[in-house]
Amino acid sequence: MPTVPARKRVIVLDDDLGLLKAVGRLLRAQGVEAELFSSVQDFQSGAELRRAICVVLDIDLGGESGIEVGRQLVAKDPAMPVVFMTGNDNEGTRQAAMEGGCIAYLRKPFSAKSLMDAVVKASAELTCWLPPVKAGAAPAPRCPTMPLLFRFSALQSYPSQARERAPSRTT
């Protein structure tokens, strides 16, 4: 039986403060800790990656490339799942994101379900990740199915809790 992942946090980097806060509220409403950053510099100096399920990166970070940030992240920690989000979708951007190693690509505006599906997938990827084997050894198999191995209790029942609605505003 798989163990419960110690990581229960999603790190989000987006220069759009409104979207950043909305994503943070959505994650917390689903029982997931959210670590939010609005600049690459703050992310690089303060993100606690060892506690993260995944990193959600905006592709256009006010002149900086989220895809490049993602590549650097994967180079440092190949097991860290990366989810990209963008408001400027095109074939070239999608291709660059996939080549950058993302596990999900979200087009803004995206639904709560799309984001949470990506987090669930990231948790399964992280749970399933196995370190490289020694040269000449047979590779160990990847996880056979995500639902059987996914035991992150805060998200396990997510699909039945999902509600597609806009966050309420107080005036």
pLDDT reported for residue 136: 54
Q: Is residue 4 part of a domain?
A: no
Residue 78 has pLDDT above 80, yes or no: yes
Q: Using a pLDDT cut of 70, give the percent of the chain over it.
A: 70
pLDDT reported for residue 61: 96
The CATH number assigned to the domain holding 115 equals 3.40.50.2300
Q: Is residue 1 part of a domain?
A: no
Q: Is residue 60 part of a domain?
A: yes
Which has more confidence, 156 or 22? 22
Q: Is residue 170 part of a domain?
A: no
Residue 133 has pLDDT above 70, yes or no: no
Q: Is residue 74 part of a domain?
A: yes
Residue 151, token pair as written in the block: 């035991």
Q: Is residue 113 part of a domain?
A: yes
pLDDT reported for residue 53: 94
What is the span of the domain harbouring residue 23?
9-161
Q: Is residue 53 part of a domain?
A: yes
CA-to-CA dists, residue 74 to 34, 44, 135, 140, angstroms? 20, 13, 22, 21
- What CA–CA distance (Å, rounded) separates 18 from 10? 17
Which has more confidence, 158 or 88? 88
pLDDT reported for residue 1: 31
pLDDT reported for residue 109: 95
Q: Kindly indicate the confidence band of residue 33, based on its pLDDT and cuts at 50, 70 and 90.
A: very high
pTM of the model: 0.74
> How many independent structural domains does the chain possess?
1
Q: Is residue 2 part of a domain?
A: no
